[in-house]
Amino acid sequence: MTPGRFGHFVAIDWSGAVGARQKGIAIAVCTAEGGPPVLARADVPERADVPERANKAWSRQDVLAILRGALPPDTLVGVDLGISLPHADCGAFFPGWQDSPADAPALWALVDAICTHDPHFAATSLVDHPAVSRYFRRHGGREGDMFRCDDASHGRGRLRLTELRQAKMGCKPYSNFNLVGAAQVGKSSLTGMRVLHRLRGHVPVWPVDPIPSHGPVIVEIYTALCAIAAGRSASRSKMTEYAQLNAALEALDSPPVIGKGPLDDHSCDALLSAAWLRANAHRDELWHPPNMTAQIARTEGWTFGAE
C-alpha cells in the first residue's frame, strides 16, 4: 500500500442484536497526522469525526448513512464483523442448495433480499428460511443438519480460511454459521452483510473489490488481533477501563485517551482498533496475504491483519 494513501482511520465495533439502536456499536476515528483516537458521537450521525460520544446509541441506519456519504475521501474503515461465510471448505456457502450464491456480493444481496422486511437491518428471516436454516446453529438446541458440513469443524462449525489463519495467530474464531453463545459472531456478520449490500457502488470492500487509487475503503477487522498486536492475549483482549486501553495504545505508539475509571469494552475495541489501523495500514504484506487467492478474496473475503 502506498504510504499516505489513507489520512483517516475509522473502526466500527458492530452488533447483531435486535432493536433500533445498539449499545454494542461503537465508532472511533483517528488521523494519520497523530493524536489519540476519539469516539464518534451517535447523536451527530452526519459526522464520523466528532469526539465525546453521547449517551444515545447508534443505529445501523446511522452507520450506513456515515459510510455512504460522510467519510473523508481518504478514510480506511475497519468493521468488526465477518464479511462473508465459509466457502472453500465445501465448495459453496450452502452446499447442496441450488440457489447458493456464487460470491460474497451475491451473498450480501441474498441476505438483504430474504430479510427485506426485517427492521433495522436484522437478519431473522434468513436464519428461519426453510432452506438456509439447515446450515446454522440456532437457539433452543436447533442445529441444522448441514451446520458442520464435514468432520473437520470439530463442533465449532465451518470456518473461513482467514479464520483458520486467525487461530494460528492465537485467536479463537467462531463460525459465522453459529448464532448461539456469547462468543458467536454470526448475527453481527449477517446484519453487516445487509449494510455491505447497501454500500455497493458507494464504498469498495477489500479484498472482494479492487482498491481504488483514492476514496474510502472498507476492510474486515478482528479486534482480538488488534489487542494481540498491542501486547494482550486473546483471552485478555477485552478491556473495560481507561488504564488498560491506554497501556495498549502506548504499545501501538498512540497517544492516550483522556479519562480514567471504567470504559465499556465496545468503546475500547473501537478506539484500539482505529489506532491499530493507523499503525498498520501502510504494511503491504497485510494487503497481500500469501494464503489469499483471487477465489478466496471474491468468495470468503479476508480479515485485514490475518497473515
Q: What angle do CA 180, 21, 119 make, to 5 degrees?
A: 75
CA dist., res. 108 & res. 176, Å (int): 14
Which one, of 39, 72, 3, lies nearest residue 278 by Cα? 3
Quote the pLDDT of residue 280: 97
The percentage of the chain sitting over the pLDDT mark of 90, rounded to a whole number, equals 78
CA dist., res. 237 & res. 225, Å (int): 8
pTM: 0.93
Pairing of the two strands 137-138 and 75-80: unpaired
- Amino acid identity of residue 230, one-letter, is A
Stretch 165-180: mean pLDDT: 91
CA dist., res. 274 & res. 223, Å (int): 10
Between 46-50, 153-157, 196-200, the lowest mean confidence (pLDDT) is in 46-50
Q: Which residue has the higher pLDDT, 151 or 233?
A: 233
Stretch 231-235: mean pLDDT: 88
Quote the pLDDT of residue 52: 45
CA dist., res. 225 & res. 280, Å (int): 12
In terms of C-beta density within 10 A (0-12 exposed, 13-18 middle, 19 or more buried), how is residue 88 classed?
middle
Stretch 235-262: mean pLDDT: 95
Is 70 exceeded by the pLDDT of residue 148? yes
CA dist., res. 119 & res. 101, Å (int): 23
Which residue spans within 251-298 are E strands per DSSP?
none
Which one, of 122, 64, 76, lies nearest residue 280 by Cα? 76
Quote the pLDDT of residue 155: 65
How does residue 82 score in pLDDT terms, banded at 50, 70 and 90? very high
Is 80 exceeded by the pLDDT of residue 55? no
CB 281 within 8 A of CB 1: yes
The percentage of the chain sitting over the pLDDT mark of 70, rounded to a whole number, equals 93
pLDDT in tens, 121-130: 999 999 899 9
Quote the pLDDT of residue 291: 95
Between 5-14, 70-79, 138-147, 186-195, the lowest mean confidence (pLDDT) is in 138-147
Output the nine-digit C-alpha cell for 76.
480506511
